[in-house]
Structures are given as structure tokens and as C-alpha cells.
Amino acid sequence: MGINIFLFVYFYLFYDLGPQFEYTRELLGSALPWARAPAAVLNFNCMLILLPVCRNLLSLLRGSFICCGRTMRKQLDKNLTFHKLVAYMIALMTAVHTIAHLLNAEWYTNSFQGRYGPLATKLSMLGDSRELNTTYLNPVRSNSTTPTILVFTTIAGLTGVVITLALILMITSSMEVIRRSYFEVFWYTHHLFIVFFAGLVFHGAGRIVRSQQVTDPPHNNSLCENQLENWGETADCPVAQFAGGFPQTWMWVIGPMIIYLCERLLRFIRYMQPVSYRKIVIRPSKVLELQLVKPGFKMQVGQYVFLNCPAISQLEWHPFTMTSAPEEDFFSVHIRLVGDWTEKLIKMVENLPEGGQGPKMAVDGPFGTASEDVFDYEVSMLVGAGIGVTPFASILKSIWYKFKDSDPKLRTKKIYFYWLCRETYAFEWFADLLQVLEKDMEERGMRDFLTYKLYLTGWDQSHVNHAMVHFDKETDIITGLKQKTSYVSKLFMMSVVGTFLCGPQALAKDLEKKCVKYSDVDPRKTKFYFNKENF
């Protein structure tokens, strides 16, 4: 934000006070700096907008190539939030830039028609002749030219219209109600960014905004403004010379565009790599488990992949957190039925003959997330809501393998796991893993290492009655686990607690506030660090 403010103020003053734009301001007035200052801010933000969605770049920054601390990694986890903030700034600056240039088109026309006084008229009538050593200032060259004609017959105008329309479609289709209910609309419309950047590169090629050039002998503005009839007749007042500025936008965006092209090339290479099915399981609560094998695939806990099923759509890629552990010889995802794409995939799998292979699947990834840092804390608190439990399945499985192999590098001493679900059968697919962990911890005398709480939020009176009847049972009536399900209606001392969430934004806001509220100001005491999964 500081850089944005600096760029706006600097270029506003540059165009509002710069002597080389004195005659240009005579035609356009204050609309000149109001058009050019947002353009500088747009260049900066258009340079940034692609970087947060270069997932391989972010994974590289998170990984071993560049060492960065916990604070920096937390910022990388907010890449989509940053992407949205940059987009908002682009939208705001585009609105200001567009309105100012529409006024410029009007004022260019009025100046040519002699409505703004003799100096503006003189400047507008300057020709474009190398023989006479004159260059024009006003792009309007005919009385028949209207502001509309000027907008739709110039490079800057045409590309500006295309850029603005593409931006409007991208922003409106990115609204949460569209993204959640009609993901395909959001996905395809968002690819108008290709049109946006193509138009952006050529937008300044017309060089409509022109500045005064140094001449020999020099043109003295303060003197020559009062001697309009003598321009070109005396040495004191040669005809003023003007030229358009060199287009700079491409220099701002070329680097990120190359990085993004490399991202897409890598994605295409991964798309072509073969993926085979190890196992397909239809779980309760309309959850599909896919166990996949891909040569050379390596993952870390909590990471996610993008899946593409060409039989459903050649272009759509959807993110899914992996539920397998790095120690396993396959990787798995659990896919809940939400939206058209998942519905079609589950139907295709349900109709497979016994022992048949599933549809062709392409995999892009894996990509790093906040959950990768779970073993960097002595105490970790994991919170999942619904299918948001998936990254923690990977973590808990990995813990089981680490204990099985007696991994001496395991820094984590305590894990608290909380899972919120609406339906009872949503617990079923994950309960088996918890039962194995529960048994293994008991055998090793480490029952206190893992504490978990399962919360059922969508219960009715029948659940309550059933729970009351079986209250004295040793195991939970829903999950069969020894730690019982809770119905919604000082644990840490001198610890750094990593709090990890995979769930809805409303829950994230509340949990982040609680982490701040209950963190002790004294650095030697309990401190909660909030981390959220973002896709």
C-alpha cells in the first residue's frame, strides 16, 4: 500500500507540475495527472497480480531452496488474499484512469474546436510535418472527430475498452456466490486475463499523451504564450515540438508473464505424465476416495494437488488436499460431492465395472500449504470442518509412521485435533485411522500424545436419546472411539502452539481472534500461531 501511494503521488505531481507537460495541461487540465498517476499504479499492480497464483514459485519459496522464517511462510500462505487485494487496486485504478481519459477525449475534441481559448486552439492546430519541423500535440485532427470516434479508432481507446470489459467480467465472475455455485463460469471467465494482458502490452503503443521536447533554439513557454502569431517566425519562439512517451507497461509485466508461462508449461508436462489408480472407494457421506500412483511423485504432509479429468473437462483443474502420508507408496484424495464436476466424477466411478480402471486423471502438484509446518511446533492444534479434515488425515498418518519407525527427528510432543461435522456418517471414513492411532499410542504408552474432540453440529432429538441410553459405554456410539463425540451446545503451559485450520472463512476469523486473545504477551509463555489452508 505504501508503494501504491508513493507511485500515485509521485506521478500525479510529475504530470501536474512537470514543465514538459505545460502545454498538454493547457488542453486537458487536471484530467492529465488523474489519468497518468493511476496508470503508474496499474503497471505496478499488474506486475504483482500473476505472482501469487504461480503455485510452483510459492512452493519453491517455501521449500529448501530459499530459507525463510515462520513469519515469511505465513505471508506466503495468504497468497490468494494478496491476489484479491491487488485485483481490487487494479479495479479502482482502472476506474479512475478510464474516467479521466474519457474526460481527456472530450477536452481534446473541445480544444480542436476552439472552445478553450487561442493557446489551446493554436496547440491543437499544430501539424505533423518533418519538413516544417513541427509535431502535433492534439490527436484530434478533424472537426468530424467526436470523443466516441476517438475512443474507438485509436490503439489506446480500443485496447482500453477490451481491457476494461475483460476486467469487469473477471471481477464479477469472481464473486463468492458465482465461484461457489457456478465454478465453471468463474474458471473459464477468469482466463480472460490472457486478453487483459495482451491488451495491456499494446495499450500505450499509440502514445496519445505527448510531452514537449527540447528544441534548439529553446521554446520559451512563458514568452511564447503571448506571441502565438510569431511561432516559427523568430528565434525566441520556434514551433513547439511534441512526442509521445515510450510505452513502459510491457517492461513491468514481461517478467511475471514469463514466470507464469513457465508455470503453465510445467502444468502441461505434468498433464502428460501417466497416472494410475491403486484403489477407488466410495465412502459414506458422498465422499470418493481415490488412491493414485504417479512415477516420481513426492509429497509432504498437508500438501494439495490439482486434478483434471479430461472426460469431464479438458480445461478445469480442481484443488484437493492429499490425505495420504509421505511414507506411503501412493497418494490419495477424498472428494466430497459438491458441484457439477464432482457429481460427474462420482457418477462415472459408480458406473465402473468391477475391477475397472477409473477415467483418465491428470495431476498437477504437489503444492505447499500452511500444514507443512505442523512438525515445527512442539504443540500443534488441528481444527477441521467437514471435508476440511483432509490435510490432517495426512498429518496423523505421517505421525503414525514416524512412531512406527521411531523417528528421532519428531519435534512435536503433543497434538490436539478437533473435527466438526454436520452428519453422523461423515465420521465413518476417518474413524478407522483414529482407531489405529489410538491403539498404537496405547501400546507405546503415549495415550496423552494425541487428544481429539469430534463435534456433531447437525444432531436431532433421536441422537440425544440414543446418546443418553448408551452414555456409560466405553466407546463412542457414533465413531467407536474411546474419546467420545461432543455435542455443540489451561491446556498449554509455556509452549509455542501452532493452530491449523481447514474450514470456512467465518470459523477462520473467530479462531484467529482467539489465537491473538489467548496468546500471552510474555514471549516466554504460551503463544498461539494461526495458520489456515488456502486454495
Q: What are the DSSP E strand ranges found in 240-361?
A: 242-244, 276-283, 287-293, 304-308, 318-321, 331-336
> Is 404 inside a domain boundary?
yes
Q: Could you tell me the pLDDT band of residue 471, with boundaries at 50, 70 and 90?
A: very low
CA 197 to CA 39: how far, in whole Å? 14
> Is 138 inside a domain boundary?
yes
Residue closest to 346 by CA, chosen among 394, 409, 283: 283
> Is 268 inside a domain boundary?
no
CA 145 to CA 125: how far, in whole Å? 14
Pairing of strands 450-456, 414-421: parallel
Helix or strand (DSSP H, E) at 484: none
Q: Could you tell me the pLDDT band of residue 489, with boundaries at 50, 70 and 90?
A: very low
Q: Could you tell me the pLDDT band of residue 487, with boundaries at 50, 70 and 90?
A: very low
Helices (H), 352-485: 390-404, 428-443, 461-469
**Rounded average pLDDT over 333-362:** 84
> Is the pLDDT reported for residue 60 higher than 60?
yes
> Is 82 inside a domain boundary?
yes
What separation in angstroms does the CA of 71 have from each of 67, 83, 84, 497, 525? 12, 19, 20, 14, 19
Residue closest to 316 by CA, chosen among 185, 209, 166: 185
pLDDT in tens, 193-239: 999 999 999 988 888 888 888 888 888 888 888 888 778 777 778 88
Q: What is the mean pLDDT of the chain?
A: 81
> Is 267 inside a domain boundary?
no
**Higher local confidence (pLDDT), 423 or 396:** 396
Pairing of strands 362-367, 304-308: antiparallel
Weakest-pLDDT range from 231-240, 333-342, 401-410, 497-506: 401-410
Q: At residue 316, what are phi and psi to the nearest 5 degrees?
A: -80, 130
> Is the pLDDT reported for residue 278 higher than 60?
yes
Query: Do both 67 and 151 map to the same domain?
Result: yes
Query: Do both 213 and 113 map to the same domain?
Result: yes
Q: Could you tell me the pLDDT band of residue 410, with boundaries at 50, 70 and 90?
A: confident
> Is 6 inside a domain boundary?
yes
- Percent of the chain at pLDDT exceeding 70: 84
Query: Do both 297 and 348 map to the same domain?
Result: yes
Query: Do both 382 and 459 map to the same domain?
Result: yes
Q: Got the DSSP string for 146-194?
A: -HHHHHHSSHHHHHHHHHHHHHHHHHHHTSHHHHHH-HHHHHHHHTTHH
Q: Which residue has the cell 484512469?
A: 97
Query: Do both 139 and 19 map to the same domain?
Result: yes
> Is the pLDDT reported for residue 85 higher than 60?
yes
Residue closest to 137 by CA, chosen among 221, 217, 202: 221
**Rounded average pLDDT over 484-510:** 66
Query: Do both 76 and 23 map to the same domain?
Result: yes
Neighbours of 311 (CB within 10 A): 12
Residue closest to 137 by CA, chosen among 112, 106, 101: 112
Last-in-domain residue among 367, 398, 416: 367
Residue 292 and residue 277 in contact, taking contact as beta carbons nearer than 8 Å = yes
Last-in-domain residue among 352, 367, 382: 367
Residue closest to 80 by CA, chosen among 179, 5, 169, 162: 179
Query: Do both 17 and 151 map to the same domain?
Result: yes
Residue closest to 108 by CA, chosen among 212, 222, 208, 245: 208
Weakest-pLDDT range from 175-179, 224-228, 244-248, 436-440: 436-440
Last-in-domain residue among 367, 392, 427: 367
pLDDT in tens, 383-397: 888 767 777 778 888
> Is the pLDDT reported for residue 464 higher than 60?
no
Q: Could you tell me the pLDDT band of residue 134, with boundaries at 50, 70 and 90?
A: low
What separation in angstroms does the CA of 75 have from each of 71, 374, 507? 7, 16, 19
Q: What angle do CA 275, 277, 283 make, to 5 degrees?
A: 130
The whole-number pLDDT of residue 460 equals 53
The whole-number pLDDT of residue 466 equals 45
pLDDT in tens, 67-78: 556 667 777 778
The whole-number pLDDT of residue 461 equals 52
Domain containing 347: what range? 273-367
Residue 321 and residue 307 in contact, taking contact as beta carbons nearer than 8 Å = no
The whole-number pLDDT of residue 292 equals 92
Query: Do both 231 and 169 map to the same domain?
Result: yes
Q: What is the CATH number of the domain that holds 278?
A: 2.40.30.10
> Is the pLDDT reported for residue 332 higher than 70?
yes
Query: Do both 351 and 374 map to the same domain?
Result: no
The whole-number pLDDT of residue 325 equals 85
Query: Do both 296 and 418 map to the same domain?
Result: no
> In the 8-state DSSP scheme, what is residue 214?
P
- Exposure b/e, 64-93, CB count within 10 A at least 16 = b: eeeeeeeeebbebbebeebbeebbebbeeb
Residue 296 region by backbone torsions, left for phi larger than 0, else alpha for psi between -120 and 50, else beta: left
Query: Do both 377 and 362 map to the same domain?
Result: no
pTM of the entire structure? 0.77
> Is 354 inside a domain boundary?
yes
Q: What is the CATH number of the domain that holds 421?
A: 3.40.50.80
Q: Got the DSSP string for 261-281?
A: HHHHHHHHHHHHS--EEEEEE
Weakest-pLDDT range from 88-97, 405-414, 477-486: 477-486
Query: Do both 475 and 361 map to the same domain?
Result: no
> Is 19 inside a domain boundary?
yes
Number of domains in the chain: 3
pLDDT in tens, 150-186: 888 889 899 999 999 999 999 999 988 888 778 778 8
